[in-house]
């Protein structure tokens, strides 16, 4: 389905309008897909500059060039959505709803599923938490990102069961089956599970977990924030009830996210936000109050002026990934994963973190620690001396990282030891992540830098500032 408005509709960009072709340029096939920032030069503390190696895709992936071009081509035609009779408003409304359809196609939605545009995965899961029927029992593994772990704690009247970290995919299914079998059989239940870990990159057994949930009368929501940019996600095929993901991890960092799936709980609950757009009619009562009839479509939970640019950016990214072909993208990414793992395996001081073992399939996300080094120090040196951007810390998955590092010796290194909770040791790790826009050279440079750093140490002096390791500019 085309992302831009169809030229045949009266509200669309005219076929001979330059924006018609500019909105959807010829697809770029192959890998890596062009992304913004690939030519950015950054200074090194040791002198000179180097092209920036962005290896923090798991936090925010760079924008696809295709997405940027599509958004830039649409920008002059920007108008209010669902609000105006003018040409640009009508065009923008058409574009917004076509974007919804494109996302539904990308996710393999069922005919009666709803696609709600949100701000992020976090927002999507908080939205779902807000619509749970009273008394819903929620089951979530401690291994989840905080976006998946915490929203249910806020749901009034709901019971949350946090399950222990499994050490194999089979154990994950068995743990869930036992927990569901032990619950009260009456009342609604929801399982929340990740598709791919934002810490280890490991793929979770989504189909098996879904089958277990449904066998025990529970529904399931898939956190696809780390899965959707790397693998196809098909709601109908996997049989999950909902999928949540963020645009900024899908090469579309324009402040939008998605919650897609079954409509009934969404339709029956109070709107996530009360305001214009969510309401169908509002009438004043004689007692001074107001009566409101809310929409039953996705608009029910999209109050306010929609982020049409964010929605269009996500749709553009979905279209670009589909046209590039996930098979080719997955094959190349797995080759990069193998190169990183083989390179790090040659450094005895490096330990790659894993729940399911070395042979577990994973996306382009790996976390590790280095004996004798604080992880913040390693990340600071990679940035300051090599122009490589990685992430360090607990990755908004504190219980999981603490589980993985529970037996790790405390090695604060030269600087940057993060604050620890009372009674706990200071723990953190380094995460490298990449995807469809990563050149081979960036991965090779990263592996070479880790080897050199561990063998020879840092060239510069570093100090702790506000809990982080930074180059000492006075050295």
Residues labelled catalytic = 396
Buried b (16+ CB within 10 A) or exposed e, 402-432: bbbbeeeeebbbbbbbbeeeeeeeebbbbbb
d(C-alpha 143, C-alpha 278), whole Å: 35
d(C-alpha 350, C-alpha 346), whole Å: 8
d(C-alpha 296, C-alpha 279), whole Å: 9
Closest CA to 329 of 94, 25, 31, 12: 31
d(C-alpha 154, C-alpha 333), whole Å: 37
Answer yes or no: are the C-beta atoms of 249 and 229 closer than 8 Å: yes
DSSP-assigned letter for residue 35 = B
> Tokens for 454?
């561990």
Closest CA to 151 of 244, 12, 38: 244
> What are φ and ψ of residue 300, in 5° steps?
-55, -30
d(C-alpha 295, C-alpha 332), whole Å: 44
DSSP-assigned letter for residue 36 = T
d(C-alpha 106, C-alpha 99), whole Å: 10
Answer yes or no: are the C-beta atoms of 114 and 266 closer than 8 Å: yes
Give the CA radius of gyration of the chain.
Answer: 24
- Sequence-distant (6+) residues with CB within 8 A of 129 are 151, 152, 154, 155, 158
């Amino acid at each position: 389905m085309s992302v831009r408005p169809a030229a045949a509709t009266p509200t669309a960009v005219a076929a001979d309008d330059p924006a018609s072709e500019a909105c959807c340029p010829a697809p770029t096939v192959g890998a890596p897909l062009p992304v913004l920032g690939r030519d950015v030069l950054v200074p090194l503390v040791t002198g000179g500059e180097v092209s920036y190696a962005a290896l923090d895709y798991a936090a925010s992936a760079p924008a696809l060039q295709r997405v940027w071009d599509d958004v830039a081509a649409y920008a002059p035609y920007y108008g209010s959505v669902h609000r105006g009779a003018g040409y640009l408003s009508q065009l923008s409304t058409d574009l917004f709803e076509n974007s919804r359809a494109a996302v539904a196609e990308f996710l393999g939605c069922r005919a009666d599923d709803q696609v709600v545009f949100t701000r992020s995965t976090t927002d999507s899961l908080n939205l779902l938490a807000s619509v749970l029927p009273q008394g819903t029992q929620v089951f979530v593994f401690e291994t989840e990102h905080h976006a998946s772990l915490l929203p249910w704690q806020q749901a009034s009247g709901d019971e949350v069961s946090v399950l222990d970290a499994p050490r194999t995919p089979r154990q994950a299914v068995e743990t869930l089956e036992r927990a569901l079998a032990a619950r009260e059989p009456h009342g609604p239940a929801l399982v929340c599970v990740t598709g791919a870990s934002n810490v280890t990159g490991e793929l979770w057994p989504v189909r098996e977990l879904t089958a277990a949930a449904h066998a025990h009368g529970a529904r399931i929501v898939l956190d696809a924030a780390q899965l959707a940019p790397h693998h196809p996600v098909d709601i109908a095929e996997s049989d999950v009830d909902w999928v949540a993901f963020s645009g900024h991890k899908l090469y579309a960092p324009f402040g939008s996210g998605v919650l897609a799936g079954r409509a009934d709980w969404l339709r029956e609950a109070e709107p996530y936000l009360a305001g214009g757009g969510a309401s169908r009619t509002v009438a004043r009562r004689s007692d001074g109050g107001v009566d409101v009839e809310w929409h039953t479509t996705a608009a029910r939970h999209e109050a306010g002026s929609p982020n049409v640019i964010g929605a269009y950016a996500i749709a553009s990214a979905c279209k670009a990934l589909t046209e590039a072909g996930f098979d080719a993208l997955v094959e190349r990414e797995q080759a990069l994963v193998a190169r990183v793992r083989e390179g790090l395996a040659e450094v005895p001081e490096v330990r790659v973190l894993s729940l399911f073992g070395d042979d577990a399939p994973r996306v382009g996300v790996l976390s590790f620690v280095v004996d004798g080094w604080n992880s913040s120090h390693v990340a600071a040196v990679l940035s300051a001396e090599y122009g490589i951007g990685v992430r360090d810390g607990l990755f908004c998955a504190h219980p999981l990282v603490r589980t993985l590092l529970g037996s790790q010796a405390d090695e604060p290194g030269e600087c940057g030891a993060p604050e620890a909770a009372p009674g706990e040791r200071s723990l953190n790790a380094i995460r490298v992540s990449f995807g469809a826009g990563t050149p081979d050279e960036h991965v090779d440079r990263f592996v070479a830098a880790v080897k050199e750093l561990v063998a020879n140490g840092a060239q510069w002096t570093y100090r702790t500032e506000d809990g982080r390791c930074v180059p000492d500019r006075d050295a």
